[in-house]
């Protein structure tokens, strides 16, 4: 990992809660996300923000990093699932459908995950569409973690909506970056390339997780 990031690891019980949580992040990427979050929060004292809460797997780590640094983790999701999580699609989990309304609802599972981890106090859930919340947002952030929808519309919307709120020296983290189309969809990769072109610099690569730093040029 880059020497621009603190080499900090989450406590054993935090890691256990992360591993037990429903979601889409391997441990090595989670450790890189945690290190980036602690680094950014300690450097700036500002909040951390995630787009793509799902059931709280990565949010456990951001909440633990926020606790460590004395700040707050914010996590944005409409909790109705991405395209590929809908019934009939590859990543659908039928246990996450609200039987009364017949739609996905990942909010209850998220709340249970954070409660079980003892981290509820350190996270604020923002329930709604990312661009809508971004348009209302008016504070600088230590870190923006883009892990929401994987279409170009959603990934670009997340970048355009939230990257401008990053503090100078803040960290931008993008998940599911696959330079080779054989490995996965290209929208997060295109966001990553755009961030580089707009003056962000790469700090670390762990699996599909890229950490970038905002520079004076960005």
Q: Which residues are catalytic?
A: 150
Asked if 77 is part of the footprint of ligand SAH (rule: CB under 6 A), the reply reads yes
Q: Given the structure tokens 């503090």, which residue do they identify?
A: 167
Smaller CB separation from ligand SAH, 73 or 76: 76
Give the C-alpha separation, 91 to 112, whole Å: 21
Q: Which of 106, 113, 204, 218 binds ligand SAH (CB under 6 A)?
A: 106
127: three-class secondary structure by DSSP: strand
Chain centroid offset of residue 116 CA = 20
Asked if 204 is part of the footprint of ligand SAH (rule: CB under 6 A), the reply reads no
Give the C-alpha separation, 201 to 83, whole Å: 30
Stretch that binds ligand SAH, among 73-81, 177-185, 189-197, 198-206 (CB under 6 A): 73-81
Stretch that binds ligand SAH, among 3-11, 70-78, 95-103, 198-206 (CB under 6 A): 70-78
Asked if 109 is part of the footprint of ligand SAH (rule: CB under 6 A), the reply reads no
Residue 107 near residue 84 (C-beta atoms within 8 A)? no
Of the CA atoms within 13 Å of residue 127, those in its CB half-sphere come to: 10
Q: Which of 1, 8, 24, 43 binds ligand SAH (CB under 6 A)?
A: 24
Q: Name the minimum Å distance from CB 176 to Mg ion.
A: 4
For residue 176, the partner it binds in ligand SAH, Mg ion, none, with Cβ less than 5 to 8 A by kind, is Mg ion
Q: Given the structure tokens 């355009």, which residue do they identify?
A: 160
Asked if 72 is part of the footprint of ligand SAH (rule: CB under 6 A), the reply reads no
Give the residue from 60, 54, 41, 43 showing the smallest Cα distance to 82: 54
Q: Which of 10, 149, 161, 170 binds ligand SAH (CB under 6 A)?
A: 149
Give the C-alpha separation, 199 to 115, whole Å: 39
Give the residue from 139, 108, 13, 109 showing the smallest Cα distance to 67: 13
Stretch that binds ligand SAH, among 21-29, 66-74, 194-202, 203-211 (CB under 6 A): 21-29
Which spans of this chain sit near ligand SAH (rule: CB under 6 A)? 23-25, 52, 54, 57-58, 76-82, 106, 129-130, 147-149, 154
């Amino acid at each position: 990992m880059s020497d621009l990031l603190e080499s900090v690891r989450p406590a054993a019980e935090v890691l256990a809660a992360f591993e037990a949580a429903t979601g889409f992040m391997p441990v090595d990427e989670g450790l890189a996300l945690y290190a980036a979050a602690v680094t950014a929060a300690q450097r700036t004292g500002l909040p951390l923000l995630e787009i793509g809460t799902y059931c709280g797997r990565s949010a456990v780590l951001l909440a633990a990093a926020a606790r460590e640094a004395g700040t707050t983790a914010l996590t944005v999701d409409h909790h109705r699932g991405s395209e590929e999580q809908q019934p009939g699609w590859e990543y659908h989990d039928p246990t996450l459908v609200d039987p009364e309304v017949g739609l996905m609802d990942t909010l209850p599972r998220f709340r249970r995950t954070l409660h079980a981890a003892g981290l509820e106090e350190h996270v604020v859930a923002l329930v709604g569409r990312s661009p809508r919340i971004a348009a209302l947002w008016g504070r600088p952030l230590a870190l923006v973690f883009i892990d929401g929808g994987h279409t170009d519309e959603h990934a670009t919307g997340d970048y355009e909506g939230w990257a401008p709120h990053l503090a100078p020296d803040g960290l931008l983290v993008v998940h599911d970056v696959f330079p080779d189309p054989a490995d996965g969809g290209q929208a997060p990769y295109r966001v990553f390339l755009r961030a580089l072109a707009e003056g962000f610099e790469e700090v670390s690569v762990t699996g599909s997780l890229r950490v970038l730093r905002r520079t004076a040029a960005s």
